[in-house]
Amino acid sequence: MEKKVDFLVIGTGLGGLSFALKVAEYGKVCIITKTKLEETNTSYAQGGIAAVTYAPDNYEKHVQDTLIAGDGLNNEEVVRMVVSEAPSQIETLINWGTQFDREATGKYDLAKEGGHSEHRILHHKDQTGAEIQRALSERARNHKNIEILENHFAVEIITQHHLGRLVKRYNTDIECFGAYVLDLKTGKTIKILSKITLLATGGAGNLYQTTTNPNIATGDGVAMVYRAKGIISDMEFVQFHPTSLYNPTDKPSFLITEAMRGFGGILKNQNGNDLMQKYDPRGSLAPRDIVARAIDNEMKITGHEFVYLDCRHLDQKGLIAHFPFIIEKCKKIGIDVFTEMIPVVPAAHFMCGGILTDKNGKSWINKLYAVGETACTGLHGANRLASNSLLEAIVYAERAARHSLSIIDEISIQEGVPEWNEEGTAHPEEMILITQNYKEVQQIMTNYVGIVRSELRLERAARRLEIIFQETEELYKKSSLSKELCELRNLIHVGYLVIKSAQARKESCGLHFMLDHPGRIRK
Ligand code: SIN
């Protein structure tokens, strides 16, 4: 079966939906998602979206905060561009119906998070992502030019390599014509041909045993582009959020937003002492890499499984107004945040690396764009500043929309693309072959490629992952397609990229900390 559209959008978080809404005025859009429209990383974002709104804040402060958090590995031009384009994109979100909290005076109520020198986080209580997702999903569902295919899994992007001949206008010899997509209801793989394809497939938190990401976050976009020989960059920089709720049965781990520390919450060890004092003068609001590493160190030294976030001294009315979702969740598991400390632990949260894109969100494959967490734009450098991720998604969705509209008239749908060639037909009758390998990947990454790394651990991880890779490729060749098998394969490919990038960087910077190379090569 074949479908032809102007724009194919893979992924339905902020990046995918805002791109779709922008280009839908000019052509036919098909959006696919492997589960439901609303099941995205965006929906789980609590804190908010960073943007300069009122004095005394200004662009320069936001730029400097982003560069400091990124340990100087950011692309400064990109940082300046994103920061200065933030307010107009926030305006668009508001026009699309997103509600950000306001003070009694009518001014926006701006929160503060780690690494920010000013209050600049626009938020909707502690469920900002869910509010943005609500507003955009509603609009997308009602747009006549947008077709939404839920339960459709992108297996591979369709590409052609021109054997060293550069495609006119583009510095690449690879072209994208759409994607092969598995309809999870019928089990059939269909061909969706498009003039422009956008990947907005989110992160890969499920590489690790503990993550704040929903279980859909399996690095699908990065893995597809890697297999198609596009360029992937900065994969060693995996961000662990310092504070997820310690409640081992929760999957995903429940996030305790950094805005709670911005509101005055203090990280404490089991003896009730301020934990961050001996690590960083910025205390509980130091950038995330520093706080996560400090907690990891504290847990390793003491043998404890968590530390605490203390909010008992904070204004109760303020807490209720800003964090109702967190208070409710804690209450459900028997913690009263007004009288008890919250047990917290770091969890894999955000992939700073990804599909390398230019300033228009264009990847190194012609006619293929990538936005949001799946992309590597240069904004984050070695560590993402809190609440810069939703911002990056919306700014790049706008840029990718503008750029693709400027070239779409020159593009025609490719004819003669073959149907998906299903190599294997056997059903993997033993699901345990997939689930066991999935768990092993998570164990390897957690134990050897986590917050603190070493040459020995990385080498061991590479050897073990290779075995799982071989087993999974064999299974893939003889089995009919399933979402579970494809996701496992994607995670293995992304895990491989994280390990190889980590091995290549012989220094410690930002999120990449190596015991053998504790210093920076370049400052
Ligand atoms: C948070 O609310 O702490 C998460 C926001 C982010 O990851 O930027």
Q: What is the DSSP string of 334-376?
A: T--TTTSPEEEEEEEEEE--EEE--TTSB-SSBTEEE-GGGEE
Indicate if 208 and 342 belong to the same structural domain: no
Question: For residue 418, is it within any domain?
Answer: no
Q: Which amino acid is it at 510?
A: G
Looking at residue 423, its pLDDT comes to 67
| Measured CA angle at 349 (ends 70, 247), to 5 deg | 140
What's the CA gap between 225 and 98, in Å, rounded? 32
Indicate if 197 and 225 belong to the same structural domain: yes
Question: What does the DSSP 8-state code read for residue 253?
Answer: P
Nearest ligand 1 atom to alpha carbon 126: 2
What's the CA gap between 160 and 367, in Å, rounded? 11
> Where among 347, 368, 384 does a domain terminate?
347
Indicate if 72 and 123 belong to the same structural domain: yes
Closest of 202, 205, 180 to residue 193, by C-alpha: 180
Write down the number of H helices and E strands in the chain: 14, 18
Q: 78: CA distance to ligand 1 center in Å?
A: 21
Residues 6+ apart with CB under 8 A from 348: 205, 207, 208, 210, 211, 212, 213, 238, 239, 240, 241
The burial class, CB within 10 Å (0-12 / 13-18 / 19+), for 231 is middle
Question: For residue 290, is it within any domain?
Answer: yes
Ligand 1 lined by 386 (C-beta under 6 Å): yes
What percentage of residues in the chain have a pLDDT greater than 90? 92
* Overall number of domains in the chain: 3
Indicate if 467 and 489 belong to the same structural domain: yes
CATH code for the domain of 436: 1.20.58.100
Nearest ligand 1 atom to alpha carbon 349: 7
Ligand 1 lined by 47 (C-beta under 6 Å): yes
Q: 390: CA distance to ligand 1 center in Å?
A: 9
Ligand 1 lined by 259 (C-beta under 6 Å): yes
Ligand 1 lined by 257 (C-beta under 6 Å): yes
CATH code for the domain of 7: 3.50.50.60
- Helix 76-95, helix 389-407: angle, nearest 10: 90
**CA 86 and chain centroid, separation:** 19
Looking at residue 473, its pLDDT comes to 95
Indicate if 19 and 155 belong to the same structural domain: yes
Nearest ligand 1 atom to alpha carbon 50: 8
Active-site annotation holds for 288: yes
Task: Please tell me whether residue 305 adopts helix, strand or coil conformation.
Answer: coil
Indicate if 191 and 337 belong to the same structural domain: no
Ligand 1 lined by 258 (C-beta under 6 Å): yes
Residues linked to residue 356 through DSSP beta bridges, in sequence order: 376
Choose one of 113, 126, 288 to mutate for the ligand 1 pocket test, by most ligand atoms within 8 angstroms of C-beta. 113
Indicate if 184 and 328 belong to the same structural domain: no
Question: For residue 523, is it within any domain?
Answer: no
The burial class, CB within 10 Å (0-12 / 13-18 / 19+), for 461 is buried
Task: Please tell me whether residue 274 adopts helix, strand or coil conformation.
Answer: strand
Indicate if 80 and 210 belong to the same structural domain: yes
Locate tokens 């079966």: which residue? Answer: 1
Looking at residue 355, its pLDDT comes to 98
Question: For residue 271, is it within any domain?
Answer: yes
Which two structure tokens, joined as six digits, stand for 470? 């071989």
Nearest ligand 1 atom to alpha carbon 389: 8
Ligand 1 lined by 228 (C-beta under 6 Å): no
Global pTM reads 0.95
What's the CA gap between 276 and 352, in Å, rounded? 24
CB atoms within 10 A of CB 228: 19
Question: For residue 420, is it within any domain?
Answer: no
Indicate the helix (H) or strand (E) that contains 324: helix 324-332
Indicate if 289 and 232 belong to the same structural domain: no
Question: For residue 416, is it within any domain?
Answer: no
Which two structure tokens, joined as six digits, stand for 5? 């559209």
Indicate if 496 and 397 belong to the same structural domain: no
Ligand 1 lined by 45 (C-beta under 6 Å): yes
**CA 321 and chain centroid, separation:** 28
Ligand 1 lined by 385 (C-beta under 6 Å): no
CATH code for the domain of 283: 3.90.700.10
Ligand 1 lined by 43 (C-beta under 6 Å): no
Q: 241: CA distance to ligand 1 center in Å?
A: 8
Question: For residue 220, is it within any domain?
Answer: yes
The burial class, CB within 10 Å (0-12 / 13-18 / 19+), for 176 is buried
Looking at residue 509, its pLDDT comes to 95
> Where among 327, 347, 367 does a domain terminate?
347
Residues 6+ apart with CB under 8 A from 144: none
Indicate if 8 and 54 belong to the same structural domain: yes
Phi-psi label, residue 283: left if phi above 0, alpha if psi -120 to 50, beta otherwise: left
Q: 45: CA distance to ligand 1 center in Å?
A: 6
Which two structure tokens, joined as six digits, stand for 401? 């929309």
The burial class, CB within 10 Å (0-12 / 13-18 / 19+), for 433 is middle
Average pLDDT by stretches of 10, the chain with 523 residues: 96 98 98 97 95 98 97 97 98 98 97 95 97 98 98 97 57 88 96 98 98 97 97 98 96 96 96 95 93 95 95 98 97 98 98 98 97 98 97 98 97 94 67 92 97 97 98 92 96 98 97 94 62
Nearest ligand 1 atom to alpha carbon 243: 3
Indicate if 61 and 113 belong to the same structural domain: yes
Secondary structure of 494-511 as H, E, C letters = HHHHHHHHHHHCCCCECC
Q: Which amino acid is it at 449?
A: V
Looking at residue 165, its pLDDT comes to 52
Looking at residue 169, its pLDDT comes to 47
Domain that holds residue 468: 432-479+482-514
Q: Determine which residue's CA is closest to atom 2 belonging to ligand 1.
A: 47
Q: Choosing from 288, 293, 384, 489, which is the catalytic residue? A: 288
> Where among 347, 373, 399 does a domain terminate?
347
- Helix 76-95, helix 59-69: angle, nearest 10: 120
Question: For residue 447, is it within any domain?
Answer: yes
